[in-house]
Structure 1
Amino acid sequence: MRVWIIFLLCLAGKALAAPTEEEPVVEEEPIVEDDAVVEEPAVEEVTEVGANPVQVETGEFDEAIEVVEDVVAENPCLNHHCKKGKVCEVDDSNSPMCVCQDPSTCPPSAGEFEHVCGTDNKTYDSSCHFFATKCTLEGTKKGHKLHLDYIGPCKSWVGVIDGITCPGSPGVTLSPQKPQDPSSHPSESDSAVIAPCLDNELSEFPLRMRDWLKNVLVTLYERDEDHNLLNEKQKLRVKKIFENEKRLHAGEHSLDLLAHDFEKNYNMYIFPVHWQFGQLDQHPVDGYVPLGPTPTEASGPMTAVANKMFLSHTELAPLRAPLIPMEHCTTRFFEQCDSDNDKYIALEEWASCFGIKEQDVDKDLVL
């Protein structure tokens, strides 16, 4: 009996001892998990840095600013802008200054399409070569008269005087008349020649120009959804033209139809003419007319003209330069616009050239 009691007590002791022996195993498993958890923060830390592009970009941006500031301190020319024909150099005091560019440092032209023609009737390899050359002539009479005439290589200018065809130069106004023999009138298809602008052709030029300006504005309005090609005030003006059912749509139209449309729908053309002036005018409300040199070079007295707006030869160049090879009356037309021969085209003169009535000229339309 005692043997059985001792035997049962042994079994009970083993049963009680069993959990005690397994507990370390159970406790060891969390320990293993704890070890894994301890390793995870290192992994999470790497993921967190890589998954935060804002922080990375901010860090890189800050670093970039520091680098730029260091570079600016070393090279003041990085933020110093010079006009065409000039490049920035640093003087002895480490201050930036603009000096004339050596034409030989201009990139070589990629082809004839980059050539430009100066008013000296000389072809330059590119606009870079032209403006660099013009800069070297600053302060001279030749440099003052030299301007970019048109895009492309120079062509032969031909004038017609009393029915005689003869070579001319861009700086001379020839008052051409139609020759008796049509064969003596050079063909516009001749790419090496700019034909003379006859009186009847000169009267036709503003008809096409007005229609073209109107169509350009309408096209900009149609494509302006996401490109911000026009400001809000301009959009409101052009919207009225675009939605007008009487508008003459773009196309090949006879001169008679263009003239009739201008007379019938005159109000549609007022804003396009003002808009083009505003696109060219780099110095709105100039407020003066220099008596001698250009405004930037003038050292003498100025004649003040309140609330006047003008186009200089330089401001007019972006429009006339590409037009001349296509419209041979361009030069004569703009010369005629300068009715007072002061070398500037005022807003009133510009509007008059396009047939806009004096009472409809409004500087507030130059938006």
Structure 2
Amino acid sequence: MRSIWLLLCLGLLALSQVHAEDDGFLDDIAEFDDNDEEFLQLLEEKNKNKDVERENELAQKLAEVQHNLLTPVVEVDPCETMHCGAGRICQLNKQDKPECICIPECPEETDTRRRVCTNKNETWPSDCSVYQQRCWCDIKEPGCRHPDNAHLHIDYYGECHESRVCDGEDLKDFPRRMRDWLFNVMRDLAERDELTEHYMQMELEAETNNSRRWANAAVWKWCDLDGDTDRSVSRHELFPIRAPLVSLEHCIAPFLESCDSNNDHRITLIEWGACLELDAEDLKERCEDVQNSVPQLLG
């Protein structure tokens, strides 16, 4: 209906333009006699030109109307392209600009399997509640229970349980076991063709060159964990490697804690290598090539 009314309006506008053009045309041909053959030819040509012009104009207007009806303008939600970290969601501020805020409310969890244990050996109802608390403490919101919770992270899923003490020979031998584990995981993923092309090249180099065996595996996992590509791994980014091993390796937690030698809650490649007892000269950072390739897979 909207398009029909628009076409009627366009027709009336075109008709008024015809009358105006006719008045000017009559002034131009006043000198011709009504029986003059030249006058009749000129009049016929003029009418044909006006008919063509009107048809072209109406066809163009109709095409524009049909285009607008078939392809309406769709407003894009600015928050769709806004990435917020764990414990945060996107919302529009008073200026209609997207911004990340702490999750206002976490779903109430009744399933005990949703509980998580943090690095403080405290059981929380869900991962959402941990991330929310960390966000509140990060921006100093009233809901923050303790300033140190700004660095709160999940150790493993499930309620906290008493851990075995890691000391003596277990702690001393752990870097070697960790190096072997990283290489075996890398090799297993390569055999299943679940590594990116660049990772596959690193694994092949490690297979054929014993001097690169542990170093390549260490660099691969460190680059893989560096999700935000800031050339350091946060304690939160260590979660994919820490959580699955806590129940199996009682030394994993103290080992990873020891990697953060300057206690800044970040682990650089040099710190990672020192933790694994690798020579810093063997650690060639190759993350740029890795992170520009296809999406990575965690081991």
The interval holding the TM-score normalised by the smaller chain is 0.5 to 0.7
Question: What is the percentage of aligned positions where both structures have the same residue?
Answer: 29
2 CA distance for matches of 1:365 and 1:99? 30
Change in CA separation of 1:365 and 1:357 when aligned onto 2, cut-off 3 Å: farther
Alignment partner, residue 251 of structure 2: 329
Aligned AA for 2:200? K
State the shift of 1:118 in Å.
2.2
Aligned AA for 1:212? W
Contact 1:120–1:146 at 8 Å: present in 2 too? no
Contact 1:118–1:146 at 8 Å: present in 2 too? no
Alignment partner, residue 74 of structure 2: 70
Q: Higher helix fraction: Structure 1 or Structure 2? A: 2
Larger Rg: 1
Query: Which residue among 233, 246, 252 is the counterpart of 1:311?
Result: 233
The alignment status of 1:193 with 2:195, answered yes or no, reads no
2 CA distance for matches of 1:102 and 1:321? 26
Alignment partner, residue 233 of structure 1: 198
Alignment partner, residue 3 of structure 2: none
Aligned AA for 1:91? N
Query: What is the 5 A alignment of 1:52-201?
Result: 70-72=74-76, 75-104=77-106, 106=107, 108=109, 111-140=111-140, 142=147, 144-155=149-160, 192-201=161-170
1 CA distance for matches of 2:185 and 2:104? 38
Moved over 6 A (4+): none
Contact 2:233–2:268 at 8 Å: present in 1 too? yes
Alignment partner, residue 44 of structure 1: none
2 CA distance for matches of 1:360 and 1:281? 19
2 CA distance for matches of 1:138 and 1:336? 23
State the shift of 1:71 in Å.
4.9
Change in CA separation of 1:274 and 1:331 when aligned onto 2, cut-off 3 Å: same
Change in CA separation of 1:358 and 1:76 when aligned onto 2, cut-off 3 Å: closer
1 CA distance for matches of 2:287 and 2:83? 31
Aligned AA for 1:194? S
Report the secondary structure of 1:70's partner residue.
coil
Aligned AA for 2:109? P
* Residues matched between the structures, number: 217
Alignment partner, residue 215 of structure 2: 270
1 CA distance for matches of 2:93 and 2:71? 25
2 CA distance for matches of 1:358 and 1:327? 26
TM-score, length basis structure 1:
0.51
Alignment partner, residue 183 of structure 2: 214
Contact 1:150–1:325 at 8 Å: present in 2 too? no
Report the secondary structure of 1:327's partner residue.
coil
2 CA distance for matches of 1:365 and 1:129? 32
Contact 1:351–1:361 at 8 Å: present in 2 too? yes
Change in CA separation of 1:204 and 1:66 when aligned onto 2, cut-off 3 Å: farther
Greater CA drift, 211-220 or 344-353: 344-353
Q: In angstroms, what is the RMSD of aligned CA positions?
A: 3.1
Alignment partner, residue 205 of structure 1: 174
Contact 1:103–1:133 at 8 Å: present in 2 too? no
2 CA distance for matches of 1:118 and 1:237? 34
